[in-house]
């Protein structure tokens, strides 16, 4: 007896059997588009032609010198997307001018594994690196620094995780809150709008000696899973997250989210 095999509606075959990790859908403007990136540094765009047929454009978006690790469409501009790479850079592209990226900057000294575009404040994008550091970038500052040939600096940067960042995602309803997972088996929740009160500084100074200082922006640490790979916010249930790991799935909600 032969088992039934379900065939895919479409195969993206431009990558020439090169391994890849990065994909993202866009449906802005009613135009369903799929981006796919590979370990050769190439990004291809596939467009929906009919209900069941896609077409992959023959020309790739090139510029990264190493593996494309993640891709994110702009939440507001249907022709714009961002990419990150093991070459340490983030690039912003416009599909109307594919010859080169509109913005390109060195974001981390190690591989940039993941990025997330803020859907509520679309000038912000966050990135997570192999070093365990994650950073938040303001496109206005990045563009200004690049035009003046100045070093690009993040709006915020944190080094809490001690292993590579594996997933990062902004909260769908709180523009300053994001979730981060790492290969150190931690999922951390952050609110970048929080700052330490002045009266807390003496207490923190006393705690620093021989101990780890907890950033005031760190809201919560979720542990108990092994080899966490992804974390995502529920798009409708406030504060609910799901995480995937070698040890299984977790669905959880913190008291302060």
Higher pLDDT, 54 or 183: 183
The pLDDT mean for the chain works out to 91
Give the pLDDT confidence score for residue 115 in this predicted structure. 98
Predicted confidence (pLDDT) per residue in 86-121, tens digit: 999 999 999 998 778 999 999 999 999 999 999 999
Percent of the chain with pLDDT over 70: 92
Task: Give the list of residues 6+ apart from residue 12 with CB closer than 8 angstroms, or none.
Answer: 34, 36, 44, 46, 54, 56
Predicted confidence (pLDDT) per residue in 207-216, tens digit: 445 567 899 9
Domains of the chain: 15-159 (2.130.10.10), 173-257 (no CATH)
Percent of the chain with pLDDT over 90: 78
138 by Cβ neighbours in 10 Å (0-12 / 13-18 / 19+) ranks as: middle
Could you tell me the sign of the dihedral formed by the alpha carbons of 7, 70, 192, 206, in that order?
positive
Task: Work out the pLDDT band at 48, boundaries 50, 70, 90.
Answer: confident
47 token code pair:
């467009």
Please give the Cα distance from 150 to 73 (Å, whole number): 27
Name residue, tokens 């981060």: 180
Task: Give the list of residues 6+ apart from residue 16 with CB closer than 8 angstroms, or none.
Answer: none
The H-or-E segment that residue 197 falls in is none
pTM for the model stands at: 0.90
**pLDDT at position 64 over 70:** yes
213 token code pair:
């200082």
64 by Cβ neighbours in 10 Å (0-12 / 13-18 / 19+) ranks as: buried
Give the pLDDT confidence score for residue 256 in this predicted structure. 64
3 by Cβ neighbours in 10 Å (0-12 / 13-18 / 19+) ranks as: exposed
Please give the Cα distance from 146 to 102 (Å, whole number): 11
Give the pLDDT confidence score for residue 210 in this predicted structure. 54
Give the pLDDT confidence score for residue 162 in this predicted structure. 96
Predicted confidence (pLDDT) per residue in 117-166, tens digit: 999 999 999 999 999 999 999 999 999 999 999 999 999 999 999 999 99
Give the pLDDT confidence score for residue 179 in this predicted structure. 98
| Entry field: residues in the chain | 257
Give the pLDDT confidence score for residue 2 in this predicted structure. 62
Mean pLDDT for 242-254 is 95
Please give the Cα distance from 151 to 85 (Å, whole number): 19
Task: Give the list of residues 6+ apart from residue 154 with CB closer than 8 angstroms, or none.
Answer: 107, 135, 136, 137
Give the pLDDT confidence score for residue 6 in this predicted structure. 84
Predicted confidence (pLDDT) per residue in 162-206, tens digit: 999 999 999 999 999 999 999 999 999 999 999 866 555 554 444
């Amino acid at each position: 007896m032969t088992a039934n095999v379900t065939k895919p509606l479409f195969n993206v075959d431009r990558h020439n059997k090169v391994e890849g990790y990065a994909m993202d859908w866009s449906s802005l403007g009613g135009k369903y588009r799929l981006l796919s990136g590979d370990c050769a540094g190439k990004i291809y765009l596939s467009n929906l032609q009919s209900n069941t047929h896609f077409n992959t454009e023959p020309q790739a978006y090139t510029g990264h010198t190493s593996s494309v690790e993640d891709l994110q469409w702009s939440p507001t501009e249907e022709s714009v997307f961002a990419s990150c790479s093991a070459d340490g850079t983030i690039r912003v592209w416009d599909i109307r001018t594919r010859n080169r990226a509109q913005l390109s900057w060195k974001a981390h000294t190690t591989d940039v594994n993941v990025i997330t575009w803020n859907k509520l404040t679309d000038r912000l994008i966050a990135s997570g690196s192999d070093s365990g550091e994650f950073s938040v970038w303001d496109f206005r500052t990045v563009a200004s620094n690049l035009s003046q040939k100045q070093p690009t600096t993040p709006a915020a940067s944190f080094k809490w995780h001690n292993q590579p960042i594996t997933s990062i995602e902004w909260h769908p309803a709180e523009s300053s809150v994001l979730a981060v997972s790492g290969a150190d088996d931690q999922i951390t929740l952050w609110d970048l709008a929080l700052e330490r009160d002045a009266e807390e500084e003496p207490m923190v100074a006393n705690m620093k000696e021989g101990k780890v200082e907890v950033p005031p922006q760190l809201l919560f640490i979720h542990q108990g899973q092994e080899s966490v790979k992804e974390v995502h916010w529920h798009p409708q249930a406030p504060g609910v997250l799901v995480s995937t790991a070698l040890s299984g799935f977790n669905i959880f909600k913190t008291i302060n989210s």
